[in-house]
Structure 1
Amino acid sequence: MKITLIYASAPRVVHERVCEVAEACTVGQALEQAGWLERFPEIRGETLGLGVWGRKTDWRAALQPDDRLEVYRGLRVDPKVARRERFVGQGARSTGLFAKKRPGGKPGY
């Protein structure tokens, strides 16, 4: 059966490979058959996540034909914290839905 493996080992570096694996293959077996566990030893660590078509999965999950197996790195910055810091840097008056006002317009329009 044919599956696609995706892994972004670093920012702006994406490894993609279409490979043939045995029928009734699990996620762990697919990574091993493709040679990615030797090529990227950090995949074995508990910090990286696994998913099929954007849905979180584990090592024992069975794969279907034409599945896209993705290996996720951890986030370096919490998105909520990053947004809060951007907001502080921009200031309250220059952000948001009503930041641009028409001359003579009512507040909020």
Structure 2
Amino acid sequence: MAERIAVEVVCAMPDRQLLRRVSLPAGSSVLQAVEQSGILQELPELPFDPSRLGIFSRRVAADDVLQDGDRVEIYRPLTLDPKDARRRRAR
């Protein structure tokens, strides 16, 4: 029997947070976990970009291989440039 790993896939929207636990075959990619979680179908308004993924707050590529216990994070695009936000607060 093939070895399986358990990972969490999370996404935080302004009004709610989603967390899904999925079981995948060992050697699965970050993108496979996102697809298996069903979060993209549940949040059709989320502008998904495969280059905006991370594992435990570290950016990773969509084809990176997962380890058992990883937490895959789907990042939203920034709505405001951090430099602009600091300038506004300074005024």
Which amino acid is the alignment partner of residue 85 of structure 1? Answer: R
- Number of aligned residue pairs: give it: 87
Instruction: Pick the aligned partner of 2:90 from 87, 90, 94.
Output: 87
Percent identical pairs in the alignment equals 34
Structure 2: 5+ residue stretches without partners: none
TM-score by length of 1: 0.68
Counterpart position of 2:35: 32
The structure having more radius of gyration, on CA atoms, is 1
Q: Which structure shows the higher strand fraction?
A: 2
Check conservation: 1:48, 1:73, Cα contact below 8 A: no
- Using the alignment, how far apart are the partners of 1:4 and 1:45 within structure 2? 18
Q: 3-state DSSP class of the match of 1:62?
A: coil
Q: How does 1:1-109 map to 2 (within 5 A)?
A: 1-8=5-12, 10-41=13-44, 45-46=48-49, 49-88=52-91
| Alignment CA distance shift 1:20-1:44 (3 Å) | farther
Check conservation: 1:5, 1:69, Cα contact below 8 A: yes
Which amino acid is the alignment partner of residue 56 of structure 2? Answer: W
TM-score by length of 2: 0.80
Q: Which structure shows the higher helix fraction?
A: 1
Check conservation: 2:46, 2:76, Cα contact below 8 A: no
CA apart distance, 1:58: 1.5
- Using the alignment, how far apart are the partners of 1:36 and 1:57 within structure 2? 18
Structure 1: 5+ residue stretches without partners: 89-109
Q: Which has the higher contact order (CA 8 A, sep 6+)?
A: 2
